[in-house]
Structure 1
Amino acid sequence: MIVTMTPNPSLDLTVEVDQLRRGHVLRAERSHLDPGGKGVNVSRALAAHGRKTTAVFFAAGAEGVRLTDLLDEQGVAVQRVPVSGVTRTNLTLAEPDGTVTKLNLPGPVCGETDGDAILDAVLAVCDASTEWIAGCGSLPPGAAADSYAKLVTRARAAGVQVAVDSSGPALWHCLSARPDVVKPNREELAECAGFTVPTLGAAVRAADELRARGARAVLASLGSDGAVLVDEHGAIHGEAAVDAARSSVGAGDALLAGFLAAGGGGRAALATALAWGAAATGLAGSRMPTPADVRRIDVMIHPAVDADRVLEEGR
């Protein structure tokens, strides 16, 4: 089983428009509502592939109930941790060429007691079959910056491997607790390492910097340039072909889900991660791919030796 912790989940409302024009009245082509938040999406992707998972998250107000109901409909086991306030609703505006504009709300305010409660809930749902705990996403207002560091410490004491997908202080603080995997995107990788990442070589150097600070492995998603995995065995780079990208929302979450589902380390896990992530980009909104959506034949894995390769802008 893979347990996910999402301190700041959301309802994700995706609206598809023919073109985003500021200051105009736009007519939506279509819209749909999905359960959201990075850890929630990881659990959704795992459940869609028949993998056992439990999503643990803060739930506030009627929106928190709606989030739970949507996950129930998708067959995702949940453990709600009640908090006061309102679970946020995030808005995604998607254009036909794959351009996505997101408006993310801050979420309900959570205090120290709430932080302890969600960590207790995560450890409580773990059993002998639990292979990984994935702590994912931003922290809600009021949450301690070392929340993921505490998760790593407690999970490792319980003998469970931990992956963290976050950014800013939440990511920085967790490194010293030595998470088994961290999964930054290119922007988060650069911010944490303290220098820009214009090339594949720079991405590897930045991942090495995160490993020097404590991460055992770094799985860095690089948008259309694929992903790089840097661990004790070195660095490998992989890419997956995408015929027609519809939305990048949730693609990194699907990538992490595939990586953990395939064991959480090595060439085969990176290949699975890329296949799941590429499949997600071909789906509308924040839908998670099913096995029918995944095309493993389009994945290429190779050593990360092309250090001078320039990464695409805006990815």
Structure 2
Amino acid sequence: MTMKIATLTMNPAIDTSTSVAEVMPVHKLRCAAGRRDPGGGGINVARVLRRFGHAATAIYVVGGITGKLLRKLVEGEGIESRIIEADEETREDFTVLEERSGNQFRFVLPGPALSETVCSAALDTISALHPAPEYIVASGSLPQGVPADFYARVVSAGRQVGSRVVVDTSGAALSGALATCPFMVKPSLRELRELTGEELGEEVSMVAAARRLIAEGQTEAVALTLGGEGAVLVTGDGAWRANAPHVEMRSAVGAGDSFVGGMVGALASGDDWEEAFRRGIAAGSAALLSPGTELCRPEDAERLFVEVKTRKIA
């Protein structure tokens, strides 16, 4: 039987979230009880996939005491782990909701510097997956020590075992990945602007930029997320625009990861591009309803799915 989906996270974190009446300097801030979740792009995607009933194998780097806690948190959500050991401590991130204003403050620490040995171990882990997954989701930032072409190497390793590799990252890591034509990339509008150097102020220019990437053999599909304006999907066969359902946002953490999890899970279940796109939008929107770092809930995503409308772009 074929493994459906694996995820890769080179820069995972323990995400701690809490709330406080008001953020002020100098004074001690008495916070509400904290919540710890396993975090980092690929781990978040695996968490979403598991909630939607998909078996997901999470490949990630761990180190030190915090790394042991991260592994415990991941496995506590029923996700199979493939561990890559590192010498330095796994990072922690901190999210605080200011109750007075409703603003969310996100403190993101840098990840540990990783050696070439750790990078090679991650690629070897992908090559050794048996049976090979249908999809590999490589998601999140690359920490110090990891070369900008690392995701390109992941795409190549995935292709050699017959997997479709989805990449969700930014900056040099994204441009590096495009050298080996991943199955799909998921930039935000800001990330696509940085990649192309273009303003991309209108839908026609966004679609044109995505189509150029596909025509030049840099990727097979582009899922462009636009925040509250929805998203655009461009493939070799067509292009679609989808609205974002209106929701009262409680937290923006993990919306993009929820989008990827919802969409890739739907593709793995046999849905066509347009249907999977709608599933991704619904999951990403549902994540906004959950506090802190909880990500999306399936019941919210299912309810919002009927509100997601798509139109084909000529």
Q: Distance in 1 between matches of 2:156 and 2:173?
A: 14
In the alignment, the residues of structure 1 paired with residue 212 and residue 27 of structure 2 have an alpha-carbon distance, to the nearest angstrom, of 45
Equivalent residue for 2:131?
Answer: 127
Q: Deviations over 1:240-269 (max 9, x none)?
A: 313311111101001001111111751101
Q: Partner amino acid for 1:139?
A: L
Using structure 2 for the length normalisation, give the TM-score: 0.91
Tell me the equivalent position of 2:104: 100
- Distance of 2:221 and 2:56 partners within structure 1: 22
Could you say what secondary structure the match of 2:173 adopts? Answer: helix
Go from structure 1 to structure 2 and tell me whether the alpha carbon gap of 1:99 and 1:238 turns closer, same or farther (over 3 Å shift): farther
Q: How does 1:77-96 map to 2 (within 5 A)?
A: 77-95=80-98
Find the aligned partners of 1:98 and 1:197 in 2 and give their Cα distance.
Answer: 31
Q: Which residue of 2 aligns with 1:177?
A: 180
Task: State the TM-score, normalized to the length of structure 1.
Answer: 0.90
When structure 1 is superposed on structure 2, of 6-15 and 255-264 the one drifting more is 255-264
- C-alpha distance in 2, partners of 1:203/1:101? 30
Q: Give distance in 2, aligned partners of 1:225 and 1:23.
A: 38
Change (3 A) 1:225 1:24: farther
Indicate yes or no: 2:293 matched with 1:286: yes
Q: Distance in 2 between matches of 1:104 and 1:175?
A: 26
Instruction: Report how many residues are paired.
Output: 304
SS in 2 for 1:263: helix
Q: 1:200 to 1:28 in 2, by over 3 A?
A: farther
Is the Cα–Cα contact under 8 Å of residues 98 and 248 in structure 1 kept in the other structure?
A: no
Alpha-carbon displacement from aligned partner over 1:180-203 (angstroms, at most 9, x marks no partner): 100111211111111223333333
Distance verdict in 2 for CA 1:23–1:203, change over 3 Å: farther
SS in 1 for 2:34: strand
Matches within 5 A, 1:69-218: 69-95=72-98, 99-128=103-132, 130-211=133-214, 212=216, 214-218=218-222
Given the alignment of the two structures, is residue 224 of structure 1 paired with residue 231 of structure 2, yes or no? no
Paired with 1:102 and 1:79, the residues of 2 have a C-alpha distance of: 28
Q: 1:213 Cα shift?
A: 5.7
- Point out the more displaced range, 261-270 or 4-13: 261-270
Task: Give the 3-state SS of the residue equivalent to 1:145 in structure 2.
Answer: coil
The code of the aligned residue for 2:225 comes to S
Give the drift of 1:69: 0.4
* 1:88–1:17 CA distance, 2 compared to 1 (3 A): same
Instruction: Tell me, in whole angstroms, the C-alpha distance in 2 between the residues paired with 1:231 and 1:18.
Output: 46
* Superposed displacement of residue 137, structure 1: 0.5
Report the CA distance between 1:234 and its aligned residue.
2.6
Tell me, yes or no, if the aligned pair for 2:231 and 2:244 is still in contact at 8 Å: no
- Report 1:237-252 matches (<5 A): 237-252=241-256
> Contact 1:98 / 1:247 at 8 angstroms: preserved in 2?
no
CA distance in 2, matches of 1:98, 1:203: 32
In 2, the alpha carbon distance for the partners of 1:142 and 1:244 equals 39
Distance change (3 Å), C-alpha of 1:180 and 1:140: same
Q: CA deviation at 1:303?
A: 2.5
Q: Secondary structure at the match of 1:16?
A: strand
State how far apart, in whole Å, the 1-side matches of 2:130 and 2:173 are. 23
In structure 2, the residue corresponding to 1:272 is in which secondary structure?
Answer: helix
Query: Structure 2: which 5+ runs fail to align?
Result: none
Tell me which amino acid in the other structure corresponds to 1:299.
V
Q: Aligned partners of 1:23 and 1:202: how far apart in 2?
A: 47
Cα distance, 1:12–1:232 mapped onto 2, change above 3 Å: same
Work out whether 1:270 is the aligned partner of 2:277.
yes
Aligned twin of 1:62: 65
| Residue 84 (structure 1) shift | 0.7
**1:49 Cα deviation after fit:** 1.2
Within 2, Cα distance between the matches of 1:98 and 1:161? 40
2:94 match: secondary structure: strand
User: Pairwise CA RMSD of aligned residues?
Assistant: 1.9
